[in-house]
Amino acid sequence: MVYEGRLIKVKRGMEGEWTNRAFNGFFPMVKKHGGKPIGAYQTVIGNSEDYYIVVQFDSLSHREKVFEAMSKDPEYQKLEESWKGVITLTNIYSTMIQPVEMPKK
């Protein structure tokens, strides 16, 4: 299992719009194509324009399949186009993490 964490810079004044699109657009689309949305987060101390979304996948190849299917989905293409003016598209950073097993004593 892997998790993708995306840092997204939301334009000032567009926070509510971003939240609406994340929960009512992006997360349902990820779920439709087989990913598992975990949540959305906002920076409390630091840059308040920084928002994070976290999505779970079975593996890196599963993530690729989900995003490949999403990219071909006309509904997702429309959603992606609608992000213009809400987020700074050049400031999206992804990190892939996976759980670490606790060492045996």
User: 66-103: buried (b, 16+ CB within 10 Å) or exposed (e) per residue?
Assistant: bbeebeeeeebeebbeebeebbeeeeeeeeeeeeeeee
pLDDT tens column, 5-21: 988 888 888 888 888 88
pLDDT tens column, 11-62: 888 888 888 888 999 999 999 999 999 999 998 898 888 899 999 999 999 9
pLDDT at 90 > cutoff 60: no
pLDDT at 91 > cutoff 70: no
pTM of the model: 0.81
The Cα 58–Cα 40 span in angstroms is 19
Q: Phi first, then psi: give them for residue 90, nearest 5 degrees.
A: -80, -5
Q: CATH classification of 2-97 is 3.30.2270.10, yes or no? A: no
